[in-house]
A and B are shown apart, each in its own frame.
Chain A
Amino acid sequence: MTRRSTDRAALRRFGLLLLVALGAPGASAAEYLQLFVTEPYLELHTGPGRGYPVAQVVERGAAVDVLKRRTEWFRVRTERGVEGWASERDLLRATLADGTPFTLNRGDRAGYQTHRWESGVSLGDYAGATLISGFTALSLTDSLKIELSAGQFLGDLSNGYLLDLGLNQVILPHWRFSPFLMLGTGWERTEPKATLAVPQDQDSQTAYAGLGTRYYLGRRFFLRGEYRHHTVFTSRDSNEVKEEWKLGFAFFY
């Protein structure tokens, strides 16, 4: 009997050692943000969505570890090891260990006016062909940006690619509805469809001037509509003029 119990104790010790050896480094490596509940209680849902049922509540004054975030939901763990999803709205009422309120940079109007980068995708029309494009801009000031955009156009007669680099001047950056002007240069590759008599790919340099407007949606997102007037420098006697219209969705960071 004594022999068996010492065996069991040895096994338990061995198990503990194994746990420490395997589990402890993982546990100590991850350091989570700790928040304290200040409202009467914090609701924990079973999933990251408003429809998931509330399975647990954390009382006022208790702490939770924030494990991860998915969209507007945070997976948290209570002191008793229970995990659940708390909404962003509820967690923003919690405080940090030093008593200061928990804040989160979700993007706001001030960020819409002053930010470093913005990117987006858009859909439009380029000289009769459908244009799918994306852009990235670097802000030099609140109103002046360097902008790179790339797109593919797909039409009945020809397909091709566009690459534009230019300046973008936002006229009223502090307005929700802020217009802008553009000026730049670019490159265009046209691939005529095989059904045409002499299919030949063409690379041309272009220059563009344009105007557009942005509209702040909320958080980090805004809509962007624009018109660009392209002059394509061809090898023929006269240059070509191509018009581009597009509407897109963009975000800043």
Chain B
Amino acid sequence: METRLRILLLTLACTLVGGCASVRWPWRGDAPVQAPEVRAEEAEADAPPVVIEPQVERRRVTVPKIDTENFGVGFYFGEISIEDFTAVPLIGLRADYHITEDFFFEAAYGKAEAGKTSFETLGGNVQLLTDDERQFTYYNLSLGYNLLPGEVFAGRSRTMTSALYLLGGVGSVKFAGEQNFTVSFGAGFRVLPTDWLAIHIEAQDLVFKSDLLGVDRLKNNLQAHLGVTFFF
């Protein structure tokens, strides 16, 4: 009798404990998750033993960026012959953008200080322009065309790419107290000792209309310079 009672009580206790476990208490949010875990373990036990675990991770291909070298900046030194004034040294800055293998844009800013006219030199104390007015500055935006691309050879083992190019552009010249719209055209020769460096020899004519000496006249200002450009 005692044994029966004990079995009954034990059965009741088991049912209660089991029942409590199956009740979803609000403070035990993780309770239902346990069930699938048990199922997964069972499934694993039933499955045939795995010889090789197929854990091949797919290699992630990161595509490195290609270094594009279409932009170049540089500087130049040369000589400019300012019409009616003497030929004087010139310095300037330039920037290039290569659009295609044939065409490029070029922006340039140059500076020179005009000398004396023959009249001033011969006339003694005569001064036509003040020191400020003698500053000759210009900028221009040009379109360039690589007319004759090629290669040059330095010695037996060194080859450098090169190009003879044409330039045409617009800009302005500030000189003698006035600023005028300027049309520029010219040609240049470029040699690249390395991929990131170019050496240029360039000749350009800056043409503008001026009435400085009383009548409207076209002024031609020829310049030639040697420069370097760094591509990046």
Contact = CB atoms under 8 A, between A and B. Distances in A.
Interface string B125-163: 000000000000000010000100111000000010100
Interface residues of B, number: 32
A153 to B, nearest CB: 9
Contacts of A46: 151, 159, 161
B69 A47 contact: no
A48 B161 contact: yes
Contacts of B179: 154, 159, 191
B67 interface: yes
Main secondary structure of the interface of B (DSSP, over half): strand
A96 B101 contact: no
A106 to B, nearest CB: 11
B184 to A, nearest CB: 12
B149 A47 contact: yes
A26 interface: no
Interface in B43-71: 59, 61, 63-70
Interface of B: 59, 61, 63-70, 98-101, 141, 146, 149-151, 159, 161, 170-172, 177-181, 195, 211, 231
A67 B66 CA distance: 7
Given A52-B151, A97-B61, A73 B101 contact: yes
B172 A69 contact: no
A31 B61 CA distance: 13
Contacts of B68: 68-70
A71 B99 contact: yes
A48 B59 CA distance: 34
A66 interface: yes
Nearest to A251: B99
Interface in A96-110: 96-98
